[in-house]
């Protein structure tokens, strides 16, 4: 290749990757997806410069399982991030909590671990939520650097949310902030968190460049999960209230990271992927988000739980295109490794597919199936335009699951809101059901379940920087 100053004009330079994940952001919570009062100019510009996906599915309908699926390219039922308990006990084992003893199974390959084969520097700036006890933090799963929270900010106090900061009245220890494997602040100061994340992200990029390494930066924001927060610079700036302030601050932080990439001459060789870990928690009222036309919310297997905003932009991707076919976060795993030239091990089943033919070649790749799990239970399947519900259940209420015989069937191209079910007597229903049942049979024939890692809990494993100070450390 021809080297001119710091700019290398060659196709031999490995690409960089920035994977950006919002938390609990609904399909309708961005300007470019039509929200009337949330402004996201940086995400809008990035989306328009790449391929937008209108049927992008998170790996699951809730934080931990979704992140596990995305980072391993495998449904959470395979990688252990589920509970074996059934209704109603399962409601207390939905994600990893401060007292959870389990984690993403150590036998799994994360995209970060595999990128090490090509000498990538791997950084996580933001939320982990895949376990914290017994060597289960990001540095144990292929990341070289981590700055962020081990789980959601509502799993402990910062003050002002339902869990009191009084050490004698708290359910959990205060929410800790980590740098690598050290707690540097407990409880975390949420008002300064995003500016610090922006700074750590740009520093990570600079360090990789100084070491002549390509990089994979996983930027996992805590917005717009409850409790909502914003720094003084953004608080009170959005017509959508604190939810909009939080979205605006995340968008501005992303804009600053992208501007840094551009200033360093890296943007043209960097793939940027954006999505949300699951649908909006719309049951929280104005504290929760907007799932656009989709029924249901985070935690449910209706579209509002799984279907999220998503786009990919980068080298050789024609801007301004929309892909309407099924895609999922598990595809990010295959796509990143494909673009990095890293082979995927053939010792297990992966559920993702490389999106490179869609991104680079413009392939339509329309007909794929996606399976909707709630923990160990398969609730629904989508193949092509149709979605069939065998079981339905609300996201966060205590009602039992409802089994449907015959199953519910919707044409999502015609009825994205899942309102107008197709009559079981309709010949279309009967033909589609045969196909769906066959897809489920094939899927389950090759299904080896991981160990149910969400089952284990103990009060003695909660993160604590110093028991003498009641787990309170660092400048606030």
Name the residues annotated as catalytic.
63, 129
Question: In whole angstroms, what is the distance from residue 244 CA to residue 256 CA?
Answer: 18
Q: Which residues contact 35 (CB under 8 A, 6 or more apart)?
A: 28, 29, 240, 290
Classified as helix, coil or strand, 122 is strand
Write the DSSP string, 372-413. Answer: EEETTEEEEEEETTEEEEEEE--SSS-PPPEEEEEEEEEETT
Question: In whole angstroms, what is the distance from residue 310 CA to residue 332 CA?
Answer: 11
Structure tokens at 222: 């805590």
Beta strands (DSSP E) in 81-198 are 121-126, 145-148, 177-179, 182-185
Kind of pairing between the strands at 270-276 and 7-9: unpaired
Question: In whole angstroms, what is the distance from residue 425 CA to residue 420 CA?
Answer: 14
Angle of helix 41-48 relative to helix 241-263, nearest 10 degrees, comes to: 50
Structure tokens at 436: 């769906």
Q: Which residues contact 405 (CB under 8 A, 6 or more apart)?
A: none
What is the CA angle 87-26-416, rounded to 5? 80
């Amino acid at each position: 290749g021809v080297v001119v100053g710091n700019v290398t004009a060659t196709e031999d330079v490995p690409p960089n990757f920035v994977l950006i994940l919002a938390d609990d952001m609904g399909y309708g919570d961005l300007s470019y997806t039509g929200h009337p009062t949330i402004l996201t100019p940086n995400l809008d510009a990035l989306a328009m410069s790449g391929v937008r996906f209108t049927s992008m599915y998170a790996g699951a309908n809730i934080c931990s399982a979704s992140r596990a699926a995305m980072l391993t390219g495998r449904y959470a039922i395979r990688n252990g991030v589920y509970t074996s308990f059934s209704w109603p006990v399962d409601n207390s084992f939905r994600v990893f909590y401060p007292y959870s003893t389990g984690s993403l199974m150590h036998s799994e390959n994360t995209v970060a671990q595999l990128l090490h084969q090509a000498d990538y520097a791997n950084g996580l700036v933001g939320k982990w939520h895949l376990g914290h006890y017994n060597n289960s933090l990001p540095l144990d799963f292929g990341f070289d650097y981590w700055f962020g929270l081990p789980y959601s900010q509502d799993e402990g106090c910062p003050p002002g949310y339902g869990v009191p900061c009084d050490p004698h009245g708290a359910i959990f220890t205060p929410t800790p902030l980590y740098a690598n494997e050290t707690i540097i602040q407990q409880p975390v100061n949420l008002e300064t968190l995003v500016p610090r994340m922006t700074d750590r992200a740009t520093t990570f990029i600079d360090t990789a460049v100084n070491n002549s390494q390509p990089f994979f930066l996983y930027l996992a924001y805590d917005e717009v999960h409850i409790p909502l927060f914003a720094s003084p610079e953004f608080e009170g700036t959005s017509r959508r209230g604190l939810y909009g302030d939080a979205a605006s601050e995340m968008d501005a932080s992303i804009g600053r990271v992208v501007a840094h990439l551009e200033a360093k001459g890296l943007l043209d060789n960097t793939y940027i992927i954006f999505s949300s870990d699951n649908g909006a928690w719309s049951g929280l009222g104005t504290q929760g988000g907007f799932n656009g036309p989709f029924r249901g919310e985070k935690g449910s297997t209706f579209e509002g739980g799984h279907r999220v905003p998503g786009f990919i932009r980068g080298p050789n991707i024609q801007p301004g295109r929309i892909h309407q076919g099924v895609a999922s976060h598990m595809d990010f795993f295959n796509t990143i490794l494909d673009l990095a030239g890293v082979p995927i091990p053939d010792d297990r089943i992966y559920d993702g597919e490389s999106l490179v033919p869609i991104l680079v070649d413009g392939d339509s790749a329309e007909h794929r199936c996606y399976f909707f799990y709630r923990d160990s239970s398969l609730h629904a399947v989508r193949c092509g335009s149709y979605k069939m519900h065998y079981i339905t259940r609300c996201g966060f209420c205590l009602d039992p699951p409802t089994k449907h015989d015959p199953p519910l069937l919707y044409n999502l191209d015609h009825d994205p809101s899942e309102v107008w079910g197709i009559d079981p007597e309709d010949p279309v229903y009967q033909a589609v059901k045969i196909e769906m049942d066959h897809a489920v049979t094939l899927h389950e024939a090759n299904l080896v379940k991981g160990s149910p890692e969400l089952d284990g809990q103990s009060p003695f494993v909660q993160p604590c920087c110093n028991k003498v100070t009641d787990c309170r450390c660092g400048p606030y």
